[in-house]
């Protein structure tokens, strides 16, 4: 009898994890609260998602869905500008996509069903029943009836709803990222001429920053992000959020130029307080992936990447445990370490961007210190920044089918990265980018320091993910 898995949530993290597990021969049931297609924010995808989408069996469906091709990013940050051009910096043709999430998430969910997952929509999970620290069954409501199903493993991919994080009180909100995002959609806009095709634009302003993401069909997603304190102060000057939003995006000369003559085609949306992390990401028989475990910030567009990356390493861990090829605690150490490390590295880089307008070289230099290249040839600081922000550092670190990693180099560089992170998170430097002079960055130092003790995860360092010939964790020493 194949082992059974219940996945809670059918966003990118849930549908990817479910598809990978079904392909690995497990019996998977996915429960999704909504009926797809449904709206979701999070449209700009990183390069590192491409091999994960392929491993989940969704490559053809995503490639034929007509999404906008994304070749990189352009930053206008402080007084600097820099361009990340994947075809020039990685390899010819390197790209991901800018996606309408209603379409992308449905493609990924349909793919999970095509891989053999039993998908229930409009099925809201109400509880996970535990017995001796292990989940025994999941309860949900569907068609007005309460149903229960037992499973060997539960994967919580419920996004911000955070079914398990809430059940166990695991979630910690970040004081430093108490941001508010307002956004809308435009037609007839133009992109900055120097930007690579389909690039995400990140443009800082006096009190926050603006994203511009080109979507298929001449649509441009434009969002303004600021700290809650600035939002409270500036919003009060306007009769509505819609007017606040328009004023803030047109306050940027670059964005005003991009939107000249364009038409706003949707109402303004708002989200706030979305930055948090769970104190643990897994336990006996259960894994928490994607936004259900942690989310940092829209800057650098990392949410879907972290969701699908954590789905990949959770699925590889479960497949290995289910096949009796690996002890559960060893596989879980690997998962906890790898996911937390990817998250921590990105949050350190994102906070550095928020923390100060130094100059672009300082961001690139920091990226180089944070990067773990496992003995690969030394990259330039700009390439290191590109590598981390494309998510490819994480994939390389997970190793296996993607690239072999020297474990001793990993441990050494993890320790080095921690020292650098501690040094660079300077509590006295004003948080210029959000217009808030007195944010306490020490919480961030604790976050990194508390969870990146390489020696605690000694075993985890010796494992790598392999996707072919079958999904599993492999001991790199063997
Ligand atoms: C303002 C803003 C901008 C962003 N921009 C980007 C970006 O450009 N690029 C990027 O990569 N990321 C971005 N993100 C992040 C991105 O939205 C998320 O990180 C991503 O959607 C996480 O995927 P997920 O599968 O973990 O969760 P979700 O996509 O949220 O999916 C969770 C699913 O679980 C379901 N669910 C919830 N509760 C239950 C329940 N009880 N029972 C059953 N199902 C349930 C939900 O209906 C949902 O479908 C942004 C976020 C914000 C706030």
**Mean pLDDT value across residues 231-236:** 91
Burial 367-405 (b: 16+ CB within 10 A, else e): bbbbbbbbeeeebebbbbbbbbbbbbbbbbbbbbbbeeb
- Ligand 1 atom 13 nearest Cα: 42
What is the model's pLDDT at position 412? Answer: 52
Residue 453 CA to residue 456 CA, distance in Å, equals: 6
SS3 readout for 153-204 = EEEECCHHHCHHHHHCCCEEECCCCCEEEEEEEEECCCCCCCCCCCCEEEEE
Question: Quick one: average pLDDT of 327-344?
Answer: 87
Banded pLDDT at 450 (limits 50, 70, 90):
very low
- Specify the pLDDT at position 460: 58
What is the share, in percent, of the chain residues with pLDDT greater than 90? 63
Nearest CA residue ID for atom 31, ligand 1: 11
Which numbered atom of ligand 1 lies nearest the CA of 14? 25
76-97: pLDDT as tens digits: 988 889 999 999 999 999 999 9
Distance 430 CA to ligand 1 centre (A): 31
Residue appearing with tokens 């010939």: 469
- Whether the CB of 141 sits within 6 Å of ligand 1: no
Spacing, Cα 375 to ligand 1 middle (Å): 35
Q: Each residue of 20-57: pLDDT tens digit?
A: 999 999 999 999 999 999 999 999 999 999 999 999 99
Give the pLDDT score at 424.
45
Distances (CA, A) of 439 to 50, 230, 392, 425, 445: 36, 12, 31, 12, 13
Residue 81 to residues 73, 76, 78, 194, 372, Cα–Cα distance (Å)? 11, 4, 8, 10, 26
Contacts for 308 with CB less than 8 Å, ≥ 6 apart? 12, 13, 16, 49, 52, 53, 290
Q: Could you tell me if the CB of 41 is within 6 A of ligand 1?
A: yes
Neighbours of 188 (CB within 10 A): 13
Residue pair 155/314 in contact (Cβ under 8 Å)? The answer is yes
CATH code, residues 4-62+101-174+275-322 = 3.50.50.60
Question: Can you tell me whether residue 421 is helix, strand or coil?
Answer: helix
Instruction: Say yes or no to pLDDT of 404 above 80.
Output: no
Ligand 1 centroid distance, CA of 404 (Å) = 31
Specify the DSSP element, H or E, that contains 318: helix 303-322
Q: What is the pLDDT of residues 186-233, one digit of tens each?
A: 999 999 999 999 999 999 888 889 999 999 999 999 999 988 888 988
Lowest mean pLDDT among 102-106, 244-248, 410-414, 435-439: 435-439
Residue 44, SS3 per DSSP: strand
Residue of minimum CA distance from atom 18 in ligand 1: 303
Helix (H) or strand (E) holding 21: helix 12-23
Among 366-375, 422-431, 460-469, name the most confident range.
Answer: 460-469
Ligand 1 atom at minimal distance to the Cα of residue 163: 41
What distance in angstroms lies between residue 270's CA and the mean position of ligand 1's atoms? 15
pLDDT, mean of residues 163-189: 90
Pocket test for ligand 1, best of 281, 292, 303, 313 (most atoms within 8 A of CB): 303
Tell the residue nearest (CA) to atom 15 of ligand 1: 303
Taking the model in full, what pTM does it have? 0.91
- Provide the Cα torsion 251, 254, 260, 266; round to 10°: -70
How is residue 270 written in tokens? 């708002």
How far is CA 465 from each of CA 281, 321, 335, 396, rounded to the nearest angstrom? 18, 13, 10, 10
Least confident of 9-23, 39-53, 268-282: 268-282
- Measured in whole angstroms, the distance separating CA 213 from the mean position of its chain's CA atoms is 16
Q: Give ∠ CA 17-129-151 in degrees, rounded to 5.
A: 45
The residue with tokens 């961030």 is: 444
| Amino acid 372: pLDDT | 52
DSSP code of 436? B
pLDDT at residue 448 tops 60: no
Query: Among 30, 92, 17, which residue's Cα sits nearest to residue 57?
Result: 17
| Residues of the chain by 3-state class (helix, strand, coil), percent to 5 | 40, 25, 35
200: alpha, beta or left? (left if phi > 0; alpha if psi -120 to 50): beta
Helix (H, G, I), strand (E, B) or coil at 264: strand
pLDDT at residue 375 tops 50: no
Which numbered atom of ligand 1 lies nearest the CA of 36? Answer: 49
Ligand 1 mean position, distance from CA 100 (Å)? 13
Ligand 1 atom with minimal separation from the 158 CA? 34
Mean pLDDT (whole number) for 380-385: 85
9 lines ligand 1 (CB under 6 A): yes
Is 304 near ligand 1, meaning CB less than 6 Å away?
yes
Q: How far is the CA of 40 from the centre of ligand 1 (A)?
A: 7
- C-alpha–C-alpha distance, residues 58 and 55, integer Å: 8
Average pLDDT, the chain: 86
Domain range summary for the chain, segments of one domain joined by +: 4-62+101-174+275-322, 350-475
Task: Measure 10 CA to ligand 1 centroid, in angstroms.
Answer: 9
Helix (H, G, I), strand (E, B) or coil at 75: strand
Rounded to whole angstroms, the maximal C-alpha distance in the chain is 65
pLDDT of residue 270: 97
* Residue 269 Cβ < 6 Å to ligand 1: no
The set of long-range contacts for 93-97, using a CB threshold of 8 Å and a minimum separation of 24, is 94/47, 95/47, 95/50, 95/69, 95/70, 95/71, 95/198, 96/45, 96/46, 96/47, 96/49, 96/50, 96/70, 97/45, 97/62, 97/67, 97/68, 97/69, 97/70, 97/198
133 versus 325: the higher-pLDDT residue is 133
Lowest mean pLDDT among 196-210, 263-277, 358-372, 377-391: 358-372
Which strand ranges, in their side-by-side order, compose the sheet holding 171-173? 171-173, 276-278, 294-295
132-160: per-residue pLDDT in tens? 999 999 999 999 999 999 999 999 999 99
């Amino acid at each position: 009898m194949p082992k059974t898995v219940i996945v809670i949530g059918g966003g990118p993290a849930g549908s990817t994890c479910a598809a990978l597990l079904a392909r690995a021969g497990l019996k998977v049931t996915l429960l999704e609260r909504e009926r797809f297609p449904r709206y979701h924010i999070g449209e700009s995808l990183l390069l590192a998602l491409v091999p994960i989408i392929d491993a989940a069996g969704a490559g053809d469906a995503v490639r034929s869905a007509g999404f906008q091709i994304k070749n990189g990013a352009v930053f206008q940050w402080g007084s600097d500008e820099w361009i990340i051009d994947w075809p020039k910096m990685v390899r010819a043709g390197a790209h991901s996509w800018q996606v309408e999430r209603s379409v992308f998430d449905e493609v990924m969910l349909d793919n999970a069903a095509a891989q053999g997952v039993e998908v229930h929509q409009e099925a809201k999970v109400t509880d996970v029943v535990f017995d001796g620290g292990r989940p025994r069954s999941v309860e949900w409501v569907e068609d007005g009836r309460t149903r229960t199903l037992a499973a060997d493993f539960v994967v919580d991919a419920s996004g911000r709803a955070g079914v398990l994080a809430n059940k166990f009180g695991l979630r910690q909100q970040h004081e430093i990222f108490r941001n508010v995002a307002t956004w809308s959609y435009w037609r007839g806009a133009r992109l900055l001429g120097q930007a690579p095709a389909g690039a995400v634009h990140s443009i800082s302003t006096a009190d926050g920053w603006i994203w511009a993401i080109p979507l298929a069909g001449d649509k441009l997603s434009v969002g303004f992000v600021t700290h809650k304190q600035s939002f409270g102060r500036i919003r009060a000057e306007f009769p509505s959020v819609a007017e606040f939003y328009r004023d803030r995006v047109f306050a940027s000369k670059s964005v005003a130029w991009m939107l000249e003559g364009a038409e706003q085609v949707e109402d303004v949306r708002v989200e706030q307080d979305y930055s948090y992390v769970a104190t643990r990401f897994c336990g006996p028989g259960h894994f928490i992936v994607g936004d259900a475990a942690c989310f940092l910030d829209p800057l650098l567009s990392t949410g879907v990447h972290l969701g699908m990356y954590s789905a990949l390493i959770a699925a590889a861990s479960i497949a290995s445990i289910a096949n009796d090829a690996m002890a559960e605690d060893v596989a879980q150490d690997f998962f906890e370490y790898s996911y937390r490390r990817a998250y921590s590295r990105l949050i350190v880089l994102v906070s550095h961007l928020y923390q100060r307008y130094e100059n672009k070289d300082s961001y690139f230099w920091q990226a180089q210190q944070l990067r773990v290249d496992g003995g690969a040839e030394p990259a330039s600081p700009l390439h290191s920044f590109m590598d981390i922000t494309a998510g490819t550092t994480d994939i390389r670190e997970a190793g296996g089918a993607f690239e072999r990693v020297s474990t001793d180099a990993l441990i050494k560089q993890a320790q080095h990265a921690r020292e650098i992170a501690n040094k660079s998170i300077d509590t006295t430097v004003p948080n210029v980018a959000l217009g808030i002079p007195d944010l306490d960055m020490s919480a961030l130092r604790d976050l990194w320091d508390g969870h990146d003790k390489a020696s605690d995860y000694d075993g985890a360092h010796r494992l790598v993910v392999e996707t072919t010939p079958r999904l599993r964790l492999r001991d790199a020493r063997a």
